[in-house]
Structure 1
Amino acid sequence: MTVRVTTLKGTGAGRYYTEHLPSYYLDGDEPPGRWWGRGAHRLGLSDEIDPEAFLAVMAGHDPATGQDLGRRMGEESVRGYDATFSAPKSVSVMFALGEPDVRRHVVEAHERAVEAVLGWVETHAHTRMRRRGHIVCVDTEGIVVGVFRQHTSRKLDPQMHTHAVIANRVRAPDGRWLALDARTIKVDQRTLSALYHAALRSELTRRLGVRWASPEHGIAEIADIDPEILAEFSQRTTDLQRRLGEKLTRFRADLARNPTPSERWKLEREAAIDSRPAKPHGISAAELRQEWQERVRALGRDPDRIIEAVVGRRRGLEGIDAATAARLVELALDSLAERQSTWRPAELIREMAAATPTTTTADSAELTDFLQRLADHVTTARCVDVSRPIPAGAALRRDGRPINESAVERTLTTEAILDEEEQLISWADRRRDGHTPADPIIRHGERLTPTQAEAAAVVAGHRGLELIVGPAGSGKTTMLASAVTELRAQGRPVFGVAPTAAAADVLAVETGMGADTLDKLLSEHRHTTRPPDPAYDLPAGATVIVDEAGTAATANLAELAGLADQSEWRVVLVGDPRQFSAVGRGGMFGHLVDAHGCAELDHVHRFRHVWERHASLRLRNGDPIVLTEYDQHGRLHGGTLNQMEEEVITAWQQARRRGETVALMANNTDTVARLNRLAQHTRLEAGELDPAKPSLQVGDESMLIGDEVVTRRNDRRLRTDRGQMVKNRDHWTITNIHPDSTVTLAGRTGAIRLPVKYVAEDLELGYAQTSHATQGRTVDVALLLVDAPTDSRGIYTPMTRGREGNDAYVAVDDNQTALDVLTQAIGRDWIDQPAVARRTQLDPRRDRQLDDPGDQEEYAKLERRIFHSIEQRRARARDAERTAGRGLV
C-alpha cells in the first residue's frame, strides 16, 4: 500500500507543512503547496497556499474572517488527515534520471492520478450530525485540501510523493461546518492506493509509452528498469537508522522527554544529511540529480540509455472494452470471495482498480469514474446486499443509503458464498441431529481433567460431527492423544489435519496419529486420473480430526463436508474461535459452535504462574480490566518505537542466553522484517555471527552462516537427509553458503542443501515471526512488539504462547501508556464473519422501529463490529495474500 492516511492532532499539526516542507533541504526547488477541493473554493482558497491561511484552516478558522468554522477546536483536537501518495520506485527513478520533458510528464501523470483519487474521496466524503435525537451520516459540500508535492525521501533518494492534507472541517447540507467523517479514508487506504496506481500507470502509458511488470497487490514497477538500479536508491536505510537512533538517544538524555512529531522530523532530516558526503551549503535539486546520475554511472550504467530503454516501448489501449470490463468483474469478485465472506463497494472498486490492464491509456479522472460506475453496476447486478434493509421513506445520501447508516457499513456478498455457507450449516445440522449413543469410557486418560476426559470421550464417540473448543494452553493435544489411543484400541481408524505441514508434523508426533494438511487431504481426493494415495484413502467410519479448525477456510470446510459424506467419515473440529481465524474466507467454526454448542476445555495448564492461568481466560474473553493485572506483574512495556525495539531485542537476547525457547513476534510482516534485521545485528555485535564468512543477499536481507532462517513454502520434492520434506515455517540454521548461491541448512528434521530458486524466493530470516504464525506453538518466553493497531486476537494469541512469561512491548505516543493502547485493542474484534451470520443479524424480522432507543444501541454495536472487521481486513490483507500462495498442499 503506497497511499497512507495519518491523523494530524494538536495545535502544531499544520506547521510541519509550512515550516519544513517548503525547503526540504532543496533550497526552495520543490514547488509550493496548492489548494484543492470544492470546500477550499467555498472559502475563497485557490492556487498557491499561503502559510497563514493554511494554518488558519488547520486550526478550524475561516482564513478570511478569522471566525471559527464550527465548534472551536481543543488543543488535542484532530486537525486533519495527511493522505500521502507515493509513486513506485521505478517512477521516481525515471523522474530522477530523465530529461526535462520526461520529468514533466512524470510529474503531470503523478499529479493527475492524485487529483483523480482526491475527486473520488470528495464524492464519498461525509460528516456526522445530530438529527431528531440521533446521529446521522450525511453528504458534504466538498473538502478542503492542501496539496504538497515532493521529489525526494527523507533519505534524499528519489521518491515522487504528495502530501494531500485534508482539513477536518467540511460543510454540511444545512450550511454548518462540521468534522469530516474520516472512516472512509482511514478504512479504505488500500482502495485509494489501488485507484492511484491504476491511474498513474494509465497516464504514463499514454504519455511515455512505458511497459509495466505484473502488478502485485495493485502496485507495479516499470518493466524496463533494472532492479539493480532500484536497489541502488533503496539502500541507505541502515546508516540513516543508526544515526537517527543516536540523535534520538541524545535528545532524550538532554531533554528528558521524547521528541514531538515536528522535532522528530527535524532529527530524521539531520540524520539524512549526516549520512551523505559533507557539503558546504544546502543541497539543490540540480545537485541531487547530478549525484543520482553519478551513482548510476558507478554501477557501469548510462542514465540516458536507461530512460531510452523505457520510453516508447508500448502503445496502450484507448479504453476498456466490454470484454475487458467483464474480465475485471470476474477477477475482482473471485479475489474478494477467496479472502472474505462479505465486502463493501469500496473494496469492490479496489479489486477492479488492481486488475485494470497495464496497457490502459485512459485519463485518470475518466478511468476512476469508469471504475466507480462499473462497481455500482456490479453491486446491484452481481452481489447480494446483506446490509440492514432501508426503511420506507428514509432520507438517503448520494450513495443511495439511509443517513442513519454509517458510511462504511454497506455489506455485500454473492449467492455462491451464501449457498456454500448455508450448505455447510445444513450439513452440520444433519450430522449433529438425532440420537447419539453413550460416549465410551476413556481408559487411557487417567491424567486428564474432567473436561479433558469429557472432550476426549466426545472425540472418540460416534456422532458424525463433533465440535471441541479449547482456550490457549488448555491441553487440547493431550486430550487428543488420549482420544486417539481410545479410537485405536477400538480398532477405528483416525487421521488428523492441521493448517500447515509443520503443525501437522507436531500433531502427528504428539498424538501418535497420521497427520497432514487439510489442503493435502482434499487435493488427494480431487484427482480424477488416479486414486488417492493410501495414506489419505481413509475407510468408511474413519474419524478425521481437524486441529486449529478456526483457521480453516470456509471453502475447505465445505469441501471436507462433501468428502466426509461421500466417504462416510466422522469429522471432529477442534479449535478456539477466540484466536486467529482463516487466512482466507472463514469464521464458520465459530458460527457452528454458536449454533450447536461444543465440548469445551475450561482449565489452563500451560503457564507456570497461577495468576496467568486465570488471567489468560479473561484476556480471551476481552476483559480490559485484566490488562491491569498484566501491567502490575511487569508484562506491559511502553515507549517510543525505537525504545520498544531495543527493549524487546534485549529481552530476546537475554532469554536465549538463559537457554530458553523464545517467540519474538509482531502483527505484520514489515515489523517482523525489521525485528529480524535487529536480531541479526545483535548477534553480529555479540560475536555469534562472523561477517568474514560467506554471506548471501536474499531480497532485502543479507544472510550469514549461523543465521536462523525459516522456509516459507512446502515442497514435497525437497527432502532432508532423514527423508523429511521442506515445510512452510520450518526453522533452520544456515551451516554453509556455497559459491553457486545454494545454501545448506540444519533443522530438527535433518539437513538439506536448498536450490538457488528456493533460496531466492522462499527463504527468510527466522528470528521473528508474525503472531498468526505462532498460533498452536508453545515456548518458554513470548515477546510481542505492538507498533500498529490490532484487535483482541492479535493480543490474546501471542500473549499466551509462553510458559514462563508473555510480555508486550507497545509503541505509544507521549500522552499514552501501553495499558491505554492494549485496552483499545482488546475491545476490537476483527474476525471475518460469515455472510449468513451477518444476514441473520440484520434480518428485518428481528428489528423494531429504527428510532427505538434499544435498536439504536444494538445497531451501534453492530456498526462498530462491522467497522473493526473492515479495519482488520485492511491491516491483515497484505500478510494474508502473501501467505495464501505459500503452497499449503
Structure 2
Amino acid sequence: MLSISNIKSSAAVVHYYEHDDYYAKETNEHKELSEWYGKGAERLKLEGKVEKEDFKQVLEGELPNGVELGRVEDGKRVHAPGMDLTFSAPKSVSILAEVYGDKRINEAHDKAVKSVLTYIEENLAYVRKTENGKTYYEKADNILASLFQHNTSRNLDPQLHTHCILANAIRREDGEWRSAYYGEVFENKKFLGMMYRSELAHSLSELGYTIERTHEDGRFEVKEVPQEIIQAFSSRREEIKIALEGYEHVNAKTAANATLVTRQAKTELPKEVLINKWQETLKSFNFNLSEQKEKIVKEREQLRASLNKKSIGETVVDTLSSWLREIKQKFEFNAYAPISHINNSIEEKKEAYTDKSVEERAIEYGVKHLSERASVWEEKELIKVATTYSLGRTSATNILEQIAIYKKEGTLLESKLRPSKEIPVKTLTTKEALAQELESIKLMQGGKGQVEPICNVREINEYIKNTSLNKGQAEAIKVILTTRDRVVGVQGYAGAGKTYMMKQAKELAEKNGYLLIGMAPSASAAKTLEADTGIKSQTVSRFLADYERLATGKEARLNAVKMKQEMQGKVLIIDESSLASTIQFNTLLKVTSDLEVRLVAIGDTKQLGAVEAGKPFYQLQRAGMETAKMTEIVRQKEILLRDAVYDSINARIKQAMFKIDLVPNLWRSS
C-alpha cells in the first residue's frame, strides 16, 4: 500500500521533533533505520544516516550548499517542506518480518521502496522554469529523499512501513536548485503502489514464500500466514471498519475521515515487550510456520499431479473444462500462457513458452489486452497489466527492462502525447496496431461520396419546426440523413440529448423508407438504447457474429449477396462508440463496406480517458469523418448543475464540486 500526503508547513516539521518526534529521533536505533536517498542527496553530500538538524534544515528549504528555497511573503521566506510517501507492506508480510524475525523481508521491502523512488527520479521529477514570461515544466534527473523504516502501527500491531520524505528541492539542468514539482507523483499514486507490490512480491517469491493475490490491482498476502492470524494483528483496520459503519456513504473521502477520527496518539513500548506480546498472540493459534510451508508445498504437488493425469485429448468435456479454466485465469491475470494455449498440465504450459521469459509473456499479454481497446496506450498501463499478470514471478523493474529492449528492437513503438499541462505522456503502440488504425481510416475514407441522401435539408427543417430539437441535435439529424458518406459520426457530451435526437432521426428516416438498426458495446447499453429510442438494438459482438465472416472472406458468395440485399434501406447506429474496441470497430467498418450499408457512430471522446489518440472513434474524427457536434447540455435543468457538468467536461473538477454543493436540497434524502 502507498499513501501520499503533503507536509504542510515548517511548523508541522518542528512538531515532528518536539511532540511526536516521529521521523528523526536522536537515538542510535532510529538512526540505523534512516537513510538519505537520491541523486539530489548525493549532490548535496547528504549520505548515510539522517541527522535531525540536517533533516530539519532541508525541509525548511535551507540546503547544505547555502541555497535558500522559497518565496518571500510579508518580509518572510515561505517554503513548502515536501511530501510523505508511506509504503506499507501487507499484514502477512509484516508478521513474517517483525514477529517471526525474517530480516530478509525487511531487506526485500527496502529494495522495493528504493525501486519505486528510482522510477520517480527517472520519470516523475519535474521543476518549473520560466522563460520570456512563459512557465513550463522541465524534466529533472534527481530527488532529495530521506527514508525512515518503522515496524509498528499506531495500535502497536506489527506493520512494516517506510516513510519516504520527498523534500521540496530539486536541481535543474543548469545547476540551479529550485522547488520541485511533484504533481506527477500524486497523479501516479496507484501506479507507484502497484510497482512497490510487484517488486516486493517478486523478492518474497524468491525467498520461498507463496504469493496469493487478494485484489485485481495486485494487492496480495503471503499464503503461509492464515487469515485468522492476519485479522488478529489488524486492530487498526478493524477500528476504521467500525467507524465507517456510522457513515451513510463509504468512499475514499469518508474512509480518510474515519482514519483520522480513530487515530490515537502514537505510543511506544520497548521492542522486547512488543515481541513478547506478539508471540503470545501467536501461541493462542497453535501455529507453526514450517508446517504451514510443508502443507502448501504438498497441495501444490497434488495439484500438479492431478493435472498431469489427464491429457488434452481425453474427452471433449476435459478439453472444454481446460479451455474455461484458461478463460478464468486470463481474467484473473494468473494464466501461465495466453488463452490460445489449451493445456491441462502446468509443466506443458511452461514448456510451450521455453523460448520466452516471464517478462516477454507478461508484456505479450499486456499488449493483447490493451490492443482490444486502443491502438495507442500509456506505457504505465502496459507496465500495470504486465506486472499484475506476472505478480510474484517477476518484478516491475524487469518488465521495464524488457520494454526498453522491445523499444530498441522496434517491437514496441513509442511516442509522446502532450496534454494541456505540457508534461509529455509516454505512449506505446505496435506496427500491427498502427496498420489496423490505418486500415480503419482507409475504410472510412473509401466510403465518402458513396451513398445518396435519405432526405433533403428542406424536409428536415420543416420537420424540426414541430419538435424541441436544439441546434446541435438538428445538425446531427442533418448529418445522418443528408450525408453522401457511408460512415459519419455524432460527437455529443453526456446529457446533450443524443437519445431524443435518435428518436427523431428514426421517425424521419422511417418516413423515407429507411430502418435504423441499433448497436452498443454492452448488453445493458443495447437494452437501454432500444428502450429509450424504439430502435431495435443488439450488442456489437452479436451483430458481428452474424456478419464478420464477410470481413474475413469466409462467407459463401451467394450468402454474401443475400446479406447485402437484406441490408438495403438499413442504417446501422452504434451508440457509445467511444467504448467500442479497436478490433470491433475495424471489423464493423469492413462489414459496412462489404454490405454497402450506412454506419452512424455516436459517442463522446471525453469518455476515452487520458490517451484518446489510440481510440477508433477519435481517430476517425481526426481523419476527416463527417461529424456533427452536440455540445449543449439539456439533461440538467438547474443552471448551477449544468455549469458543473461543463466544468467536469473540461476537467475543472474543483469548480464543478463547488457549484454542486451550492445547489439547494441536492443531497436531501428522499
Q: Counterparts of 2:643 and 2:28 in 1: how far apart (Å)?
A: 57
1:546 equivalent to 2:545? Answer no
1:175-234 CA-partner distances (Å, limit 9, x unpaired): 432333535544444553344333322322333x11223584344332344445445555
Change (3 A) 1:496 1:227: farther
Amino acid across the alignment from 1:481: K
Give runs of aligned pairs for residues 298-313 of structure 1, distance below 5 A: 302=287, 304=289, 308=293
Aligned twin of 1:222: 222
1:599 equivalent to 2:598? Answer no
Q: Counterparts of 1:537 and 1:509 in 2: how far apart (Å)?
A: 28
Structure 1 counterpart SS, 2:11: coil
Aligned twin of 1:86: 88
Structure 1 counterpart SS, 2:517: strand
Aligned residues of 2:374 and 2:616 also touching (Cα < 8 A): no
TM-score (norm: length of structure 1): 0.55
Q: Counterparts of 2:648 and 2:272 in 1: how far apart (Å)?
A: 58
User: 1:562 is matched with which residue: 567, 576, 590?
Assistant: 590
Identity over aligned pairs, percent: 25
Aligned residues of 1:544 and 1:570 also touching (Cα < 8 A): yes
Q: Counterparts of 1:433 and 1:306 in 2: how far apart (Å)?
A: 75
1:496 equivalent to 2:514? Answer no
Change (3 A) 1:169 1:462: closer
Aligned twin of 2:442: 426
Aligned twin of 2:317: none
Q: Counterparts of 2:23 and 2:127 in 1: how far apart (Å)?
A: 37
Amino acid across the alignment from 1:516: Q
1:49 equivalent to 2:50? Answer yes
Change (3 A) 1:608 1:425: same
1:437-493 CA-partner distances (Å, limit 9, x unpaired): 362646987434364456446545675223223444443222322333444455544
Aligned residues of 2:571 and 2:599 also touching (Cα < 8 A): yes
Aligned residues of 2:13 and 2:56 also touching (Cα < 8 A): yes
1:695-725 CA-partner distances (Å, limit 9, x unpaired): xxxxxxxxxxxxxxxxxxxxxxxxxxxxxxx
Shift of residue 163, structure 1, vs aligned partner:
1.2
Q: Counterparts of 2:401 and 2:264 in 1: how far apart (Å)?
A: 47
1:10 equivalent to 2:3? Answer no
Change (3 A) 1:436 1:637: same
1:505 equivalent to 2:527? Answer yes
Structure 2 counterpart SS, 1:635: helix
Amino acid across the alignment from 2:498: K
Q: Counterparts of 1:456 and 1:477 in 2: how far apart (Å)?
A: 12
Q: Point out the structure with the larger helix share.
A: 2
Give runs of aligned pairs for residues 638-649 of structure 1, distance below 5 A: none
Give runs of aligned pairs for residues 840-851 of structure 1, distance below 5 A: none
Amino acid across the alignment from 1:331: Y
Aligned twin of 1:571: 599
Aligned residues of 1:553 and 1:585 also touching (Cα < 8 A): no
1:211 equivalent to 2:224? Answer no
Q: Counterparts of 1:583 and 1:124 in 2: how far apart (Å)?
A: 18
Aligned twin of 2:263: 269
1:24-72 CA-partner distances (Å, limit 9, x unpaired): 99x9987753323343344443333222221111112135x7x334566
Amino acid across the alignment from 1:553: S
Aligned twin of 1:333: 367
Aligned residues of 2:376 and 2:615 also touching (Cα < 8 A): no
Aligned residues of 2:109 and 2:200 also touching (Cα < 8 A): yes
1:105-145 CA-partner distances (Å, limit 9, x unpaired): 221221222233334444557554769868673554x4332
Q: Counterparts of 1:29 and 1:540 in 2: how far apart (Å)?
A: 79
Aligned twin of 1:378: 406
Amino acid across the alignment from 2:628: A
1:635 equivalent to 2:657? Answer no
TM-score (norm: length of structure 2): 0.70
Number of aligned residue pairs: give it: 581
1:88-108 CA-partner distances (Å, limit 9, x unpaired): 233123335x423x2x22212
Deviates more, 1:517-526 or 1:437-446: 437-446
Aligned residues of 1:120 and 1:368 also touching (Cα < 8 A): no
Change (3 A) 1:244 1:77: farther
Give runs of aligned pairs for residues 807-818 of structure 1, distance below 5 A: none
Shift of residue 415, structure 1, vs aligned partner:
2.0
Aligned twin of 1:477: 499
Structure 2 counterpart SS, 1:12: helix
Aligned twin of 1:468: 490
Aligned residues of 1:184 and 1:408 also touching (Cα < 8 A): no
Q: Counterparts of 2:646 and 2:422 in 1: how far apart (Å)?
A: 31
Change (3 A) 1:114 1:604: closer
Deviates more, 1:114-123 or 1:349-358: 349-358
Change (3 A) 1:512 1:297: farther
Amino acid across the alignment from 1:61: E
Change (3 A) 1:455 1:374: closer
Amino acid across the alignment from 2:617: F
Deviates more, 1:453-462 or 1:472-481: 453-462
Q: Counterparts of 1:466 and 1:264 in 2: how far apart (Å)?
A: 50
Aligned residues of 2:496 and 2:634 also touching (Cα < 8 A): yes
Q: Counterparts of 1:624 and 1:584 in 2: how far apart (Å)?
A: 19
Structure 1 counterpart SS, 2:10: coil
Aligned residues of 1:127 and 1:178 also touching (Cα < 8 A): no
Change (3 A) 1:151 1:231: same
Change (3 A) 1:310 1:137: farther
Aligned residues of 2:91 and 2:230 also touching (Cα < 8 A): yes
Change (3 A) 1:293 1:509: farther
Amino acid across the alignment from 2:412: C
Change (3 A) 1:158 1:566: farther
Q: Unpaired runs of 5+ in structure 2?
A: 247-255, 302-349
Aligned twin of 1:162: 162
Change (3 A) 1:423 1:62: same
Q: Counterparts of 2:377 and 2:435 in 1: how far apart (Å)?
A: 16
Amino acid across the alignment from 1:467: G
Aligned residues of 1:444 and 1:482 also touching (Cα < 8 A): no
